[in-house]
Amino acid sequence: MAGVLRVALRNPAIRSALGDHADAVWAALASPPAPEAMPGVVDGMRALYAGEPQLAELGIDRKLARTMEKQARMMLATAATSLADESDGRGSERGLYLGLPTVDEPIPGMVALENWHADRGREPIGAHLQRETPPFSGLSMLNSSAAAHIAATLRMTGSLAVYSPFADAGLNALVDGACAVADGECTDALIGAVSPKIDPMLPLQYQRWSEPGMTLAAGEACASLLASPAGDDADEARLLGYARGYASLPWNGDGGPLPALIAQALSMAERHAGQVGWIVHSAPWRDCQRRALDAALTACWPTALPPRLDIERSFGRIGPAATTLAASLALHALQRGECHADNESQRRVLTQPTVLVIAMAPHGQCGVIVIGKEQA
C-alpha cells in the first residue's frame, strides 16, 4: 500500500476565535484567548466564539446569507479564502468535500427514542433527547443544501460530498477528498470542515460524551484547504499517508487502536517515527482515550517524543473541524519551519518536514494522517 497516495495540499484558510487569517492564528497559538461565558447556560459552560463572517464582499445576496446558519456562512467564507488566488478556470472540475454538521438543529437517533421509551417516560423527553442526541448530528438535506449553495457561489460543479455525524466528519472529508483527486474523480478538491453550532443545548450533549477532566470549552472554528495532484516540486506539502479505524470504548491502556493506525499511516507515507517533526491531535473525549494516546506515543517514540499540540486546548472543542484545522496548521508549520508545543509560549524549530495528525471521536472513531514534503 506504500506510495499509493501523493496529493498536494495548499491554500489553508482558518476562521476561529484566534483570528481569521493565517498569521494571526499562528501568532495567537502562543497565548490563546480565554473562553467567554455562554449566555443562558446555568452550569457555567464557556465558549470560544468566532467572529461573524462578512459575506457581502463575496457577492453573496443578503437573502441567501440570512437563510444560512452561522456555520454554513463560516464555511463559505473560509472556502472562498482558499480559492481566492485560484483563477485557472478549473472550477467546473473542482470537487467539494465538507464536514458540515448541525446547520439547523440536531436530530435524535432511534436509540435515544428507544431509551426514552424504555425509561417509560419517567424523565421529560426534552431533557432526555437533549442529553442523548449526538452533538455532531444534523439534518442531511439542509447540510447538502448549504454545500450546494457553497458550490454554486464558488462555481464548483465537480464531485460533492457532505459529512455530517460526529467528530470524524472533517477527517473523512479530508481523506475522501484527497482520494478523489488521486483517483481522478476531480481535477482538484476544496476540503473543509466547521465546528457544531454553539447554543445552550450543546453543553448537555457534551456532558453526554465527555468525562470529568476531559471537558473543554466549546469552540467555533472552520478550516479549509485545496488538494491537487502532486507535482515535481519537492517543497510542496503533501498528504502522504492515512489510516482510519474504529474501536469501541473503553480502549485498552496499551494504546488501543492507535499504535496500529500510526504504523499503517507511516508505512503508507514511507516514513518512520524518527522522521516525524510534529504531532498534532484532537482532544480525547474519555480518560481511556487520553491514556491510550499517551501509551501509543510512548510506544512509537520511547526516547524522544516530537513536539505535540492538542489543538482543542487552544481552539475549544471543535469536533469535526479538528482534523482540517490540524492539517491547515501542519501546512503553516511546514511553510514556516517551526511548530507549537503544548504549554509553551515560544515556537520550536520544525526539525523534520513531516507532521502526524491524530483524530479521535466520542464513539471510538479514530484516524491518523501524515502530511509532509517529499524526500529525495
pLDDT at 104: 59
Res. 241: pLDDT tops 70: yes
- Convert 177-209 to b/e letters by CB count within 10 Å (16 or more is b): bbbbbbeeebbbbbbbbbbbbbbebbbbbbbeb
| 157-172 residue pLDDT tens | 899 999 877 788 999 9
- What mean pLDDT comes out for the span 336-357? 93
Q: Which three cell numbers stand for residue 350?
A: 520544525
Tell me 260's DSSP state. Answer: H
Q: Which three cell numbers stand for residue 17?
A: 476565535
Which of the residue ranges 64-68, 75-79, 197-201, 275-279 has the most confident prediction, judged by mean pLDDT? Answer: 275-279
The pair phi, psi for residue 150, each rounded to 5°, is -65, -45
| 136-149 residue pLDDT tens | 655 555 678 888 88
| 93-119 residue pLDDT tens | 899 999 988 655 556 667 777 777 787
pLDDT at 3: 43
